[in-house]
Amino acid sequence: MPELPEVEVVRRGLGPQLTGRTVAAVQVLHPRPVRRHLAGPADFAATLVGRTFDVPSRRGKYLWLPFTDGDAVLAHLGMSGQFRVDAPDRPLARNTRVVLSFTDGGQELRFVDQRMFGGLSLSRDGAVLPPEIAHIARDPFDPAFDLGEVGRRLRRRRTGLKRALLDQTLVSGIGNIYADEALWASRLHWARATDTLPAAAARDVLLAARDVMAAALQQGGTSFDALYVDVNGSSGYFSRALAVYGQADRPCPRCGTPVVRDSFMNRSSYRCPRCQRRPRSARW
């Protein structure tokens, strides 16, 4: 699943391609990506025509494309959703599901989704913040993100630390990859009980998450395969800089101890067993 850096890369790529452009036509090539638009694919296509895009927005992992009239297209990338920008005469990429063309006749916006877990939907009055995602917390890059308050809320939880970091109602944008990297940077075990954390440790792990996501953003995000690319089809390169995520049996960059893989919530969690020792007080 794309996390904050990957979604932000897409948002930045879409900005100059969409802002101020008016939709001329919409082709829905498969109905599943617009399944959340209950009036159906034909209505989804018709209701977008004639609208003008404003600057794309993001909160955490969630992306939306505002219109100047106050509505928005809410985009969920799922596991394999991509926005691609191509000239109208370019052949469609395999698994292209929705195509938007514009009144200026320039490059089209194409939504590509191999597995079709993602999708697009019209959000009424969603230009500032779609009501569908109003429950999502601010992310560490949001100017209104309150580090002290989020740290206090984190410490009031009675759960494991990684579970808390993945809770998008507490802090958004952090997924499995950047949670593991932030925990490694903070020397904290993923099962550490949140209510045992000192205030400084809570602050440090949130700052570490912000820092590692900022570093990933500079390298275009993290790509392990062709399912995540930017609007031009390019992959991100932060996978080359990962300290522990996906690095089982490789040496910890800090102490040289082989990284281990733990089972976590039907997924995997990676850590250095020396730098991130399992605490006596732990919660799964």
Kind and range of the H or E run holding 63: strand 62-66
> Do the beta carbons of residue 9 and residue 77 sit within 8 Å?
no
DSSP for 103-119, written as a single string: TT---EEEEEESS---E
Active site residues: 2-3, 61, 267
- Distance of alpha carbon 108 from alpha carbon 89, whole angstroms: 9
Alpha carbon 191 to chain centroid distance? 23
C-alpha separations of 177 from 69, 105, 182, 202 in Å: 37, 39, 9, 19
Q: Which residue has the tokens 């390169």?
A: 237
- Cβ neighbours for 215, distance < 8 A, ≥ 6 positions apart: 238, 241
Residue ranges of the alpha helices (H) in 157-198?
A: 161-166, 176-186
DSSP label of 194: G
- Cβ neighbours for 167, distance < 8 A, ≥ 6 positions apart: none
Alpha carbon 173 to chain centroid distance? 6
- Distance of alpha carbon 212 from alpha carbon 83, whole angstroms: 24
- The span from the first CA to the last CA of the chain, in angstroms, equals 22
- Distance of alpha carbon 109 from alpha carbon 47, whole angstroms: 16
